[in-house]
Amino acid sequence: DAGVIQSPRHEVTEMGQEVTLRCKPISGHNSLFWYRQTMMRGLELLIYFNNNVPIDDSGMPEDRFSAKMPNASFSTLKIQPSEPRDSAVYFCASSLVRSSGNTIYFGEGSWLTVV
Amino acid sequence: TQLLEQSPQFLSIQEGENLTVYCNSSSVFSSLQWYRQEPGEGPVLLVTVVTGGEVKKLKRLTFQFGDARKDSSLHITAAQPGDTGLYLCAGGKGFGNEKLTFGTGTRLTIIP
């Protein structure tokens, strides 16, 4: 399996610009997660989907952030407008959630720098 | 609010030594997972423990879940340079424990 695929791997953008991060989860997985990692705050869950439906978006920082999952094989995380404090590594992860538990597989991350 | 505190935050030891990393919380979790993250990559799951008092071994790594399911430890015997990385604990809640809260992390460096 190819694993969780994220794009772009690196992006540098100017403050105020729109940023779109993309994710292809592992085929057959029913849950998808977006995390953000910074030195100051560590790894934070932003939002997660189950069967393409957003279950918990309480970690989304503010209205500038939005996430969609139009189908089981694709998700986007959009920041509009971007700000320097959004600079971080954004990870997408997927898993097959069952009552017996699950294993979450992370992508390699999208490194975002907002200048 | 950071629910899972890890200690130490940084640890640098010589190859061959033993070490223990701790993960503590005031919350009860249904499961506790440990991940290792290397530079430029995402975290990779090492182990999941679900029962209070449970102990799991993965080669030179020993993981323990506290009796009250609020804390956990990771012990490495005879550390090797390949053990270098960021170790993250994560507490799970929800139907399949899919909602994870990650710890603050322990950055481990093994000196050859």
The DSSP result for A67-80, as a single string, is EEEEETTEEEEEES
Residues of B in contact with A30 (CB under 8 A): none
Total residues belonging to chain A = 115
A3: helix, coil or strand?
Answer: coil
Q: Tell me: the pLDDT tens digits for B4-37? A: 999 999 999 999 999 999 999 999 988 899 999 9
Q: Which amino acid is at A2?
A: A
Q: Tell me: the pLDDT tens digits for B51-75? A: 899 999 999 999 999 999 999 999 9
| Rounded Cα distance, B43 and B85, in Å | 10
Element (H, E) at B20: strand B19-25
Residue B1 has pLDDT above 60, yes or no: no
Element (H, E) at B95: none
Residues of A in contact with B44 (CB under 8 A): 106
A62: helix, coil or strand?
Answer: coil
Bridge partners (DSSP) listed for residue B88:
B35
Q: What are phi and psi of B11, to 5 degrees?
A: -150, 125
Asked if residues A34 and A91 have their Cβ atoms less than 8 Å apart, the reply is: yes
Whether B98 and A97 lie within 8 Å, measured CB to CB: yes
Instruction: Please report the pLDDT score of residue B93 as a whole number.
Output: 77
Residues of A in contact with B100 (CB under 8 A): 45, 104
The verdict on B39 touching A (C-beta cutoff 8 Å) is: no
Tokens 């550390």 identify what position? B79
In a mutational test of the B interface, the residue from A102, A103, A111 whose CB has the highest number of chain B CBs within 10 Å is A102
Taking only residues 35 to 94 of chain A, the set having a beta carbon closer than 8 angstroms to any beta carbon of chain B reads 35, 42-45, 48, 50, 56, 91, 93
Whether B104 and A42 lie within 8 Å, measured CB to CB: yes
Asked if residues B100 and B33 have their Cβ atoms less than 8 Å apart, the reply is: yes
| Rounded Cα distance, A104 and A45, in Å | 13
**Each residue's pLDDT tens digit in chain A (115 positions)?**
689 999 999 999 999 999 999 999 999 999 999 999 998 889 999 999 999 999 989 999 889 999 999 999 999 999 999 999 999 999 999 998 766 667 889 999 999 999 9
